[in-house]
Structure 1
């Protein structure tokens, strides 16, 4: 089988199943890191197989392969737990990269789960030991906070390195969002949560095929629909947590592409129904996208970018928050200058 030979050349050990039932039987006998499944198979389809694998083998990633370029099928596969979606015909490198990215995301999720369990053990140990001093309590809290921020930073880097965005983008996003949240007079605890969580806004891009994510130009309507699934993917990655900062990150990932007038995605939320953390991140993300260079465009002047955004006041953006952002322009420009994209590619 072509796929088996291709992946074995890359050092993976593979086993082939002809049907969904045969695949489940193989998984029952031994653990596997990843399942590469066709959407259309004899008997049960790949779409039906995905949630079964997710329920019984949650540490096994699944990537769907199909000859049908249908955004609805892609979105359905992602919602049912697929880590990726590859369309035939494909280049060998596309399969290799798709598998590599799915395995990387799986490792991050497993590491994050273990990390949460370790933090819970840490808290339990501290509780059993009946921490007796304020300093010990402060150090324990700081240890948990530092561990959370490290996890968030690593997830942010993993998502950003799949396209042309840089570490500087993560830094700018965090600071733009912190600035806007503070000037909007959110409670200080909420400001800190936004600062830490906002870099994970695009973590769902981990699940988008590279040929779409890295395309140097406009997407087709079908590609755009697949691209838009990253909001749902990001939410699914982050939502299952007991930690407030990751809950905020999940909300940001899910809602930063919603629009004030209700024409955004994925749920078409309108006005105040969009969580404020999503509205804040939307403004920061668009400003950063306009003012930084991409492979398909030059960077725009910040003042020109702001004029374009003001034209969308009350349509794309929360008018009150956008007004605050405009009034904070001196601070915004200072952040923009402090974290330049030193290795940004020239526009073509």
Structure 2
């Protein structure tokens, strides 16, 4: 990465603040002789008003003034104008005041009376420190953005690889790819609705589509059977959770660990009557509880080999009946709250077909 220093304005504007007009005039004369533009005001209150209408690169302020003190002005300006350098000037030689000013962010400290050279040296040092600080901030921001961009690119690649592999593993009809995409998008939307961390929502988008990867180990004769499964056949189908977890086990990658939990537990039920482990309530991993709702919604509103799709009205009625039995009631309510986003996801993917 090429390092570029922060841009420096051709004209340096300096705001001089002192309740004594003679001192303001003297400081301004010193500054203008060195090519700086200066504006003088006589109180902290006037300085704050001027800062609202004009940009300054440097503030030179007295400390002991009527009204707000220079120390108070320093604290306010560092909050409101963090890129403005500040030099404090005072007639009182106080070590404690000097330390306090520097702790609050002053770049220089002058004891009156001071010579022109002393002022200009402080000004040059303060402006150079300001330039270097801004350049460092800009560099860090660019670096952070580059890391974010690269992370997003890696995540996009992970998502594409996961979707392609899962599609290949489950390839039985043209709808499979759309189904696994919807599950990822639905799950991420639910996570955001629940105020989960952004990273979990992003990971769910990639991990949730792997929820049924274990079906690669189930015979097509059973999976594609057009009618109701026998008890024995359903017991075979239930093994896809364990098979999927086995495929995804022993990984050190957090995303795959998340996908493993989803594959194993997304058929558990809130009341403990699900499979394969009969977990109940919050013993079921959160990601699996989220995917359970996304998966059931998708299963209801789209055709399956053994039945046509339900209307959304009937699908929602079925899901509401599963509150606190099949589904986590909080997540189910969140699902109902973000339902418009689910519909928009369905619409967008339908348009891609």
Tell me which interval the TM-score lies in, with the shorter structure as reference length: 0.5 to 0.7
User: Once the 2 structures are TM-superposed, how far is the Cα of residue 188 of structure 1 from its aligned partner?
Assistant: 0.8
| Residue 321 (structure 2) aligned to one of 311, 325, 338 | 311
The answer to whether the aligner puts 1:246 opposite 2:256 as a matched pair is yes
Change (3 A) 1:197 1:149: same
The answer to whether the aligner puts 1:256 opposite 2:266 as a matched pair is yes
Corresponding residue for residue 199 of structure 2: 189
Corresponding residue for residue 281 of structure 2: 271
User: Once the 2 structures are TM-superposed, how far is the Cα of residue 335 of structure 1 from its aligned partner?
Assistant: 1.6
The answer to whether the aligner puts 1:332 opposite 2:342 as a matched pair is yes
| Runs (5+) with no aligned partner, structure 2 | 1-142
1-side partners of 2:178 and 2:151: how far apart?
28
Query: Number of matched residues?
Result: 212
| Residue 232 (structure 1) aligned to one of 212, 219, 242 | 242
Change (3 A) 1:297 1:187: same
- Cα deviation, 1:6-65, whole Å, max 9, x if unaligned, reads xxxxxxxxxxxxxxxxxxxxxxxxxxxxxxxxxxxxxxxxxxxxxxxxxxxxxxxxxxxx
Corresponding residue for residue 208 of structure 1: 218
User: Once the 2 structures are TM-superposed, how far is the Cα of residue 274 of structure 1 from its aligned partner?
Assistant: 0.3
2-side partners of 1:278 and 1:139: how far apart?
29
2-side partners of 1:289 and 1:178: how far apart?
17
Indicate if the aligned counterparts of 1:181 and 1:280 stay in contact, CA closer than 8 A. yes
- Of 310-319 and 158-167, deviating more is 158-167
User: Once the 2 structures are TM-superposed, how far is the Cα of residue 337 of structure 1 from its aligned partner?
Assistant: 2.2
1-side partners of 2:293 and 2:282: how far apart?
15
TM-score w.r.t. structure 1 length? 0.57
- Cα deviation, 1:86-136, whole Å, max 9, x if unaligned, reads xxxxxxxxxxxxxxxxxxxxxxxxxxxxxxxxxxxxxxxxxxxxxxx6677
Change (3 A) 1:327 1:224: same
Corresponding residue for residue 102 of structure 1: none
Q: What do you get for the CA RMSD once the two structures are aligned?
A: 2.3
Change (3 A) 1:163 1:218: farther
2-side partners of 1:309 and 1:266: how far apart?
21
Corresponding residue for residue 185 of structure 2: 175
Change (3 A) 1:221 1:292: same
2-side partners of 1:138 and 1:175: how far apart?
21
User: Once the 2 structures are TM-superposed, how far is the Cα of residue 297 of structure 1 from its aligned partner?
Assistant: 1.6
User: Once the 2 structures are TM-superposed, how far is the Cα of residue 341 of structure 1 from its aligned partner?
Assistant: 9.4
Corresponding residue for residue 283 of structure 1: 293
Indicate if the aligned counterparts of 1:292 and 1:298 stay in contact, CA closer than 8 A. yes
- Cα deviation, 1:274-314, whole Å, max 9, x if unaligned, reads 00100000001001000001233221111220111001100
The answer to whether the aligner puts 1:295 opposite 2:311 as a matched pair is no
2-side partners of 1:300 and 1:139: how far apart?
41
User: Once the 2 structures are TM-superposed, how far is the Cα of residue 162 of structure 1 from its aligned partner?
Assistant: 3.2
Change (3 A) 1:296 1:342: farther
1-side partners of 2:293 and 2:202: how far apart?
18
Rg larger in structure? 2
Matching of residues 107-122 of structure 1 within 5 Å: none
Indicate if the aligned counterparts of 2:301 and 2:312 stay in contact, CA closer than 8 A. yes
Q: Any idea what SS the aligned residue of 1:339 has?
A: helix
2-side partners of 1:278 and 1:235: how far apart?
12
User: Once the 2 structures are TM-superposed, how far is the Cα of residue 214 of structure 1 from its aligned partner?
Assistant: 1.2
2-side partners of 1:338 and 1:298: how far apart?
21
| Runs (5+) with no aligned partner, structure 1 | 1-132, 344-348
Indicate if the aligned counterparts of 1:239 and 1:250 stay in contact, CA closer than 8 A. yes
